[in-house]
Structure formats: C-alpha cells, structure tokens
Amino acid sequence: MDLLIQTLINGLILGAGYALVAVGLTVIFGTLHIVNFAHGAFFALGAYATLLIERAGAPYLLAIPLAVLCVAAIGFALEATIVRRALYDQGEHGSIIVTFAISQAIVAAIILVVGPDPLPVPSPFGQTAVSVGGFFLSAQRIFIAAASVAVLAGFALWLRRSVKGQQILAVSQNARGALYSGINVPLIRSLSFLLGIAAAGLAGALMGPMISAFPTMGDANVIVAFTVVILGGLGSIGGAMLGALVIGLGNALFETYVSVSWTPALGWVLVILVLLLRPQGLMGRAQLDRH
Amino acid sequence: MTDITTGAPAGRARGGSASLKGAGLLALGIAAALAAGFGLGGDPFLLNLAGYTCGFAIFALSVNVMLGGLGEVPLGHCMFYGIGAYAPAMAMNHAGLPYEAGVAIGMVVAALIAAPIGWLTLHLTGAYFSIVSWGLSGVAMVTALNLDVTGGPLGLFGFSRLAVGPFDLSRPQTYFFVAAAILLAVLVVLYHVRGSRFGRAMEAIRQGPHLARSLGIDVFRERLKALVLSAPIAALAGALSLPYTQIVTPEVMSVLRTVDALLAALIGGVGLIFGPAVGAVIFTILPQFLDLDPNVKVLVFSLLIILVMVAAPGGLHQLWKAAAARLSHARKGDAP
C-alpha cells in the first residue's frame, strides 16, 4: 500500500512536469497547426541555458527566468527567419521536416558548443528529500510540481481573462474567423509559438537538475509530450494537463509494477492506440474537416 | 506544397521518347557505377562506403515512395530497414541459413508486417501518420533491445558468410558492384511503377485526395499498396548495410536513420525518380571528402534542408532552375 501511494505521488509530480512541455506543444499546434518536432530541442536548450547562466555566477532561481528569456529569444529568431516563411498554411509535410531539421540542428549545435557529455545542473534543492506523512519526496520534484502548477494556472487564467489570451483561443478555434473579426492572426501565431517554446525552455530549466543536461535530453521528453498531447486531444489545453497526469501516473505505475526496460514502449503504444481509436483525444472535439 | 509538382515531369514515363530517356539514364547509371567501381581503384574503404551508399540510396528511394509518392513523412520507415538488417543476421546466426535466404525472409516479413500496419494507420494523414509511424519504430526498437533473439542492446555480429550466390560481399569491389546493380534494379522497378496506373493514381492522391476519390481512385487501397511496395525495398536496403556495418544493433531502427533518408530525398528532389539516389550520394560522399565532423555534418545538412524547404521544396535542382530562369529572363530583358 505504501509503495502504491509513493508511486502515485511520484506519478503525479512527473505528470506536472510533463504538463508544461505538453501545453507548449499543444498551444503551438492549436494556433499554427504544426506539430513542433523541435520541441525537445528547446527543452534541452532551457536546461543548457540554465547551466551556462549558473556557471556565470547567477543563482538557480534567477537563472530559470533568464534561461527562459534566452530560449524565447532563440525561438523568436527562428520564428522570424524560418517558421514564419516555411510553415504557415503550407501543408503538413513541410512543417514536419522543417521542425525536425531545426531540432537536429540545435542538438548538433549544443554538442559542438558545449560537448556531448551529460552535465549536472546545480540546484539549491539538490538531492535533499523531504518526508511528508511517511512518504519521501525529493525537494527538486516538489519544486518542479509547484512551479509547473503555478505557471500553468497563471497561463490558464491569462488565456481566459486577457484580450491576447482570448485572441489565442479564437485563432486556435478558427483562424479565418479570427482574421475576419479583426484579430492580427500572424501576430497571435508568433506569440503562441514564443509562449510554447518558452514553456519548453522552462520545463528544461526545471527538469535539468533532476535528469542532468545532455544534448538529446529532449527526445524522451518530447515523445512523452506527444503522448500527452495526443491523449488530451491536439490543441486542447485542458486535455494536455489531464493527459499529462494520466501519462505520469501510467508511467510510474508501469515502472514500479511491470518493467523498467519496456517503459519507453508504453508511451508509444498509448499514442498509437489513442490515434487509432480516438484521434480527437480525451477532451478534443471531433474534427469535421480532416485533411 | 504544390511546388513539388514542378519537379515531377522529368521522371515521368509518357510515350516512347520517355522510355528511351529512361534507357539512356539507365545506361548512364551503369556507366557511373562501372566508373566508380574501377575508378576508386583498390581503396577498400571507399569501395565499402560506396557499397553502403548504394544501400542507403535504396532506403532513400523507399522513403521517397511515401514522401514524394504520397506526400506523407514516414518517420518510422527505419523499422522496415531494421527488419531487413535483423532478418539475415538472425537467419545466419540462429538458423544457419545463408545470407540470401535471410534477405528474402526479411523482405517478405517487411511486406507482411507493412500490410496490417498500413491497414491500421493509413487512415491517418499528415502529422498523425508521422507520429504513429515514429511510434511503431520506437516500439520495434524497444522490442529489439529487450529480446534475446535480437541480441539485446549488444545486437548481432560475427556473421558467417556475406555473399550473394558466387559473389562474396566481403570483397569491397564485389560488394559495391552487387549493391549498385540492385540499386539500378530498384530504380528500374520504381520507374515502371511511376508510369503505371498505380503510379499515376498515387500522383493524383498526392495532389488532392478528395479529387482523386471523386475520379474513382480507391485512395486508401492505393496508399496501402504504396506502403507495401516500399517496405520490402527498405528491408533490402537494411540487408545491404550488413557487409559495411558487420553488426546489427537496435540503433539501426533509430528515427535518425529515416531522417537521413528524408534529407537525402529532399536534397536530391522528391519529384525526380533518381533524385533520392543522387541525394544519398551527396549526403554520404561529400562529408567523407570534406572530412567533416559528424556533428558539423548534421548541422550543415539540417540547415541545408531548412533552406531547401524554405526556398526550393522540390529539391536543390529547383534553385538551379530558378537561377537559370532568372538569368534567361534578364537576358531577354536586355535584348530589346
């Protein structure tokens, strides 16, 4: 029983971390209609930016926002030079290839600049564990969960309450309708891309101390994020959060009770099943015009 | 992505002149292969690399059946490549069968697996299809890592005899000639497929699935045929990599392998029948001669592919055509 509760707690915290990556992915899909295969690379950039800023002397808590700014700046540059030209309204196969190429270029650049070896990302929470009612939690995990819940709640509130947030929702519902209503669609798309990338960077900065920084660290995470996002319904933000918790719990349970070495296949099998059985996801609406 | 069509007519069979052109291209290919085979002289490393490049070109052609043919991005195609590499390795190491038998088994298995996979997944399009395809290759890779027959993470190695009939593939020159001959055979097959009713149906589907359906084309069945056609070709490519790599590990199913093939196809031109093969040669030979660090290579080629997608979605030859068109336009402008 204790093992089960410990596993469930770990799963929920894991899920909170996944949610951050997944929400970024789903916001980008919702407004730009591209699946950002480079998401994992921005996740890695977030961890490396944190690491480099910390090396320059900044404390971890200050390094996180700075790292997110750095990743957002890189995302902005890519958006303005490549994404905007190559992707908008141009069939899916181009966007898949371009985002994949961006991802490979970023990973190769990280290897060339920083090196291929895993590097620890220092964090004041370190490896200390906190005992809560007899269950052990690492302080870093609690921090990850708290930070992602706070950021996601803030983001959800911002989407509901602010004009820009409403415009993002409008564009993801119907880009042409939004355009006719006087919404600056290209601006909203750029903004969504930036927000999505920044969320990936933040996730990298938060998860870095736990899994340490290595160039392909984003791969495993973005695969999970795909699962989460598809499970929740591509483009659905609430679905992404719910999907993240489901996957976090599922992974933790599978790892504890079935097999660690087969866990990577679990996410894939879930993705495949969801896409085949319920392509609109748990909370997404069925698309009328699938093209 | 309609721009790709501009690259298509070059390789299309239409009437006698086209098949004559095809024969000419084939003769050119044979001449190039012979020149390379003897021109590379005694250098076993380069000959081995050239043989491997032919295998890689076959894989790029297989990927391009999906990419250029259907307009889908088959990220998980590396799975079929992996099946093709594992089948002869397992046949030789576990069953004592000869290499050729293993290759044939691999191709049959790939086709047999492709049929149900296609039946399940080809209802999906675009990013959904790509993700499921990637997912299946991920499952295949985890399976290869965890099973004993595949040798787990260490993979399989120490093969008995890599030979096709009397041709011993452990001799670099023989390896290259066999691989080049198979590559040319695959090109001929794909050339005829493109000119066939099935090939034209695929082209119609790529340009507009709804319109194709309205013309009476069974879109789903043609897409399925394309996958079942391309899977054994990918398996053949995987089998041809063995004499070069001498080992099969689960890494063979890494999605990066598919990405390499996609890049090769895109550089060479997805609309051209031989484009992927040319792209594969550029992709493997050029970095070898420039002595590039593998990471610099990835960086350069990724940026190149972004450039291609932004500026010339049909392949690098489009840049050349555009430049030529602009030049002739400028000349005309000067004349009067």
Q: Among the residues of chain B, which ranges form H helices?
A: 15-39, 44-70, 78-90, 99-121, 126-146, 172-195, 197-207, 209-214, 219-240, 242-245, 255-268, 275-290, 294-311, 316-334
pLDDT tier for residue A89 given thresholds of 50, 70 and 90 = low
So what's the pLDDT on residue B274?
A: 83
pLDDT tier for residue B121 given thresholds of 50, 70 and 90 = confident
Q: Quick check: B326 pLDDT over 80?
A: no
State the CB neighbour count (10 A cutoff) for residue A233: 26
Using CA coordinates, name the residue in chain A closest to B295.
Answer: A108
Q: Quick check: A217 pLDDT over 60?
A: yes
Using only the alpha carbons of chain B, give its radius of gyration.
20
Average pLDDT over residues B222-241: 93
> Are residues B138 and A291, on separate chains, in Cβ contact within 8 Å?
no
- Give the pair of three-digit tokens for residue B141: 């890779």
The closest alpha carbon to A26, from A281, A216, A255, A214, belongs to A281
- Give the pair of three-digit tokens for residue B98: 């000869």
So what's the pLDDT on residue B335?
A: 45
Q: CA–CA separation, B95 vs B160, rounded Å?
A: 11
Please check whether residue A194 is in contact with residue A79, taking contact to mean a CB–CB distance below 8 angstroms.
Answer: yes
Q: CA–CA separation, A267 vs A276, rounded Å?
A: 14
pLDDT tens-digit map of A22-34: 888 888 887 887 8
- Mean per-residue pLDDT of chain A: 82
Among B29-33, B112-116, B147-151, which is the least confidently predicted range? B29-33
Please check whether residue A18 is in contact with residue A270, taking contact to mean a CB–CB distance below 8 angstroms.
Answer: no
- Give the pair of three-digit tokens for residue B174: 């023989």
Look-up of token digits 């899977």? B231
pLDDT tier for residue B147 given thresholds of 50, 70 and 90 = confident
- Give the pair of three-digit tokens for residue A34: 């591209």
Q: CA–CA separation, B53 vs B181, rounded Å?
A: 13
Domains and CATH numbers, chain A: 2-277 (1.10.3470)
Q: Which residues pair with A119 in a beta bridge?
A: A213
pLDDT tens-digit map of B253-290: 888 888 888 888 888 877 778 888 888 888 887 777 77
Among A23-37, A210-224, B322-336, which is the least confidently predicted range? B322-336
ipTM: 0.76
Residue-by-residue DSSP string for B8-58 = GGGG---HHHHHHHHHHHHHHHHHHHHHHHHHTTT-HHHHHHHHHHHHHHH
CA distance A54 to chain B (A): 26
pLDDT tier for residue B12 given thresholds of 50, 70 and 90 = very low
Backbone angles phi, psi at B156, to 5 degrees: -115, 140
pLDDT tens-digit map of B280-318: 888 887 777 777 787 888 888 888 888 877 776 666 666
pLDDT tier for residue A52 given thresholds of 50, 70 and 90 = very high
Q: Which residues pair with B247 in a beta bridge?
A: B157
Contacts of B139 in chain A (CB under 8 A): 265, 268-269, 272
Average pLDDT over residues B74-79: 91
So what's the pLDDT on residue B40?
A: 66
Average pLDDT over residues B211-220: 87
The closest alpha carbon to B5, from B203, B226, B262, B278, belongs to B203
> Are residues A104 and B302, on separate chains, in Cβ contact within 8 Å?
yes
Among A218-222, A233-237, A263-267, which is the least confidently predicted range? A233-237
> Are residues A98 and B309, on separate chains, in Cβ contact within 8 Å?
yes
> Are residues A94 and B1, on separate chains, in Cβ contact within 8 Å?
yes
So what's the pLDDT on residue B332?
A: 60
Q: CA–CA separation, A102 vs B301, rounded Å?
A: 11
Q: CA–CA separation, A147 vs A16, rounded Å?
A: 9
Using CA coordinates, name the residue in chain A closest to B310.
Answer: A86
- Give the pair of three-digit tokens for residue A62: 């200050």
Using CA coordinates, name the residue in chain B closest to A215.
Answer: B295
Q: CA–CA separation, B162 vs B27, rounded Å?
A: 28
So what's the pLDDT on residue B111?
A: 94
Beta-carbon contacts of B117 under 8 Å, excluding residues fewer than 6 positions away, are B136, B227
Report DSSP state, residue B246: -
A288 against B196, higher pLDDT:
B196
Please check whether residue A119 is in contact with residue A182, taking contact to mean a CB–CB distance below 8 angstroms.
Answer: no
Q: How many residues are there in chain B?
A: 336
Please check whether residue B177 is in contact with residue B171, taking contact to mean a CB–CB distance below 8 angstroms.
Answer: no
So what's the pLDDT on residue A50?
A: 93
Query: What distance, in Å, lies between the first and last C-alpha atoms of chain B?
Result: 36
Beta-carbon contacts of B112 under 8 Å, excluding residues fewer than 6 positions away, are none
- Mean per-residue pLDDT of chain B: 81
> Are residues A272 and B310, on separate chains, in Cβ contact within 8 Å?
no
